[in-house]
Structure 1
Amino acid sequence: MSHALINGLAGAGGGIIAQLLTYPLQTVNTRQQTERDLKREKKKKKLGTFQHMCQVVRQEGWGRLYGGLAPSLVGTAASQGVYYYFYQVFRNQVEAAALKQKKKGLGDGSVGMFSSLLVAALAGSVNVLMTNPIWVIVTRMQTHKKMPKGLQTVPEPPSTDVEALVPVEPRPYGTFNTIREIFDEAGVTGFWKGVIPTLIMVCNPAMQFMLYETMLSKLKKKRALKGSTNVTALETFLLGAVAKLGATVTTYPLLVVKSRLQAKQVTTGDKRQHYKGTVDAILKMIRYEGLHGFYKGMSTKIVQSVFAAAVLFMIKEELVKGAKLLLSNATSIKSKPS
């Protein structure tokens, strides 16, 4: 089994566990990001993360905190697996190139910070293009609000911004219904909504991995001076948390724009809440909500993403160590004379 495949599978496993632990926070955060508080409107009392979570449970039930969990787990496994696999493939090539340069007397054979950033960005771009449809489905399911039985919110009349509750036949909002809804709205291209800010967002994991790899490398070099290169699970957890914190704070506004584009669009009524594309969304958010709109739910996201990233890095590294140990044991057993 190749080193890249081991990292891919370990990343997928770590991502699933991290997603299961933090999913309710992710659902609340997505809802916070897609809320519209337009200027000149009466200000509503802002709910904290825990209050928002309690409100969802009280009004819609516990199940809504896990809306879209099934496709999200598929998306997480696919995203982390694809990302870690291609990250290792590209990194192996960069490391091989660095060693060739060293033999020519150029450099010390190590991968620099810029090269690490480029490798992470390339792996992230491949991941985005392959898995964006899954995350469009997940965002729709997370932001779908369960109405009281037999009622649904619709504009009334269509020429006004007023909404009213009217009796309708309730329908399930599962994965296949969501896929059909997205396709009916925008065809196949609807599954790549938000792909532009998402591609720009590859700087988030790229920055995260650059910080993580840099800190990990420095820690290992420091340990090597003492005759050991071992890094504990707790240290990996803390390194992952610090790296994700720096990346999240820097790139959060793009994440809000992406969520707005992937959520169900309001095609009737208030045109201020309908986005035609990335640039249109950014301009309308600045005009009608101000810069504050780009930072909605950031505290929730920091808690969720930092904890999830720390768990993912820790579990992924432990799984890689375990897999390598099993493979080395299997190899040594085969090599022993019978």
Structure 2
Amino acid sequence: MSDAAINGLAGAGGGIIAQLITYPLQTVNTRQQTERDLKKEKRKPGAIEQMCQVIQNEGWERLYGGLTPSLVGTAASQGVYYYFYQIFRNKAEVSALERSKMGIGDGSVGMLSSLVVAALSGCVNVLLTNPIWVVVTRMQTHRKTSKKSQPDQILSTDPDEAIVAAAEPPPFGTCYVVKEVYDEGGFLGFWRGVFPTLIMVSNPSMQFMLYETMLNKLKKRRALNKKNNNGVTALEIFLLGALAKLGATVVTYPLLVVKSRLQAKQVTTGDKRHHYKGTLDAIIKMIRYEGFYGFYKGMSTKIVQSVLAAAVLFMVKEELVKGVRFLLTNKVKSKPNLT
């Protein structure tokens, strides 16, 4: 098995575990980002309070709305990202070694090269998996309404045969959302928000650049202190992943809010301030009607969720890579030598 495939599968496994642990926070955060209230309230409920409100008003299952496509998306995104990241990383390492032979550099991949590698991997990932995240965002922001709150529905247009019944909300599963997105925007509707998402490639790029820089420095320091020992523990990987994600999230959060607004169900009637035609239109309307505060809605929740998820992902991914390599090495050693 190639190193790229090992990293891809390990990344997918780590992403799924991180997603399962932090998904309720992600649902609450997406709802916070897509709130269209134009007046800043004196007090906003915190993440835990909002989770309790969702449970009380809509049930436990709404905290996990869109979990199935989200797990598929996480596995696909992490698998695609790590697979292409390793491929591009290998090419960068070969290029760095060739330059070192020419007297340029020390043969290691620098920060700029790491940034480019992460950015290219992120772009491939975004273009391939954006449709999944459009569906997930719709399902996370869907609010379950009770039967009592639904308006009466006339089942016949004939006044003599008019039958009035309580309107039932439609079944809001993955297939329903896929149809809804297609009916609204056709095939290209599944790539709503792709432009800010592509710009947001800088988030994982910065994240991995910070992570690998800190990891390499830690390994070098450990190698100097203890001969032939540059190992890093799972806890240290966890902390490094958390620090890297924290720095990247603070810088790119406004783009994440714009992306969520575009991918959520658009209000086509009523207040035009709630309807966004595209990325630039969303940015202008948010600045005009909500101020810069609108770009940072739910940021505290996102920091907790993303930092925890990234830390778990890095820790699990590194342990899975070590485990798979260990198993493959032992398997090779156990094969009898027939020569």
Same fold (TM over 0.5): yes
Gaps of 5+ in 1: 155-165
**In 1, Cα distance between equivalents of 2:65 and 2:254:** 24
What percent identity do the matched residue pairs reach? 74
Deviations 1:169-207 (A, max 9, x none): 332100000000000111001100000000000000000
Matched AA of 1:325: F
Out of 82, 101, 104, the position equivalent to 2:102 is: 104
Q: Is the 8 A contact 2:151 2:167 kept in 1?
A: no
Give the aligned partner of residue 251 of structure 2: 250
Task: State the 1:66 CA deviation.
Answer: 0.2
Give the aligned partner of residue 23 of structure 1: 23
Matched AA of 1:281: A
Give the aligned partner of residue 45 of structure 2: 47
Q: TM-score, normalised by structure 1?
A: 0.94
Runs of 4+ residues over 3 Å off in structure 1:
150-154, 335-338
Give the aligned partner of residue 34 of structure 1: 34
> How do residues 295-310 of structure 1 correspond to structure 2 at under 5 angstroms?
295-310=296-311
**In 1, Cα distance between equivalents of 2:37 and 2:290:** 6
**In 1, Cα distance between equivalents of 2:288 and 2:110:** 41
Gaps of 5+ in 2: 153-164
Change in 2 beyond 3 A, CA 1:335/1:119: farther
**In 1, Cα distance between equivalents of 2:221 and 2:34:** 45
Give the aligned partner of residue 234 of structure 1: 235
Out of 57, 65, 68, the position equivalent to 2:66 is: 68
**In 1, Cα distance between equivalents of 2:149 and 2:189:** 27
> How do residues 1-338 of structure 1 correspond to structure 2 at under 5 angstroms?
1-39=1-39, 43=41, 45-149=43-147, 151-152=149-150, 167-225=166-224, 226-227=226-227, 228-336=229-337
Q: Is the 8 A contact 2:3 2:86 kept in 1?
A: yes
Task: State the 1:37 CA deviation.
Answer: 2.2
**In 1, Cα distance between equivalents of 2:269 and 2:237:** 49
Task: State the 1:151 CA deviation.
Answer: 4.0
**In 2, Cα distance between equivalents of 1:88 and 1:152:** 51
**In 2, Cα distance between equivalents of 1:85 and 1:293:** 35
Q: Is the 8 A contact 1:150 1:169 kept in 2?
A: no
**In 1, Cα distance between equivalents of 2:42 and 2:174:** 32
**In 2, Cα distance between equivalents of 1:50 and 1:289:** 24
Task: State the 1:336 CA deviation.
Answer: 4.2
**In 2, Cα distance between equivalents of 1:48 and 1:209:** 30
Q: TM-score, normalised by structure 2?
A: 0.93
Count of residue correspondences: 325
Q: Is the 8 A contact 2:27 2:63 kept in 1?
A: yes
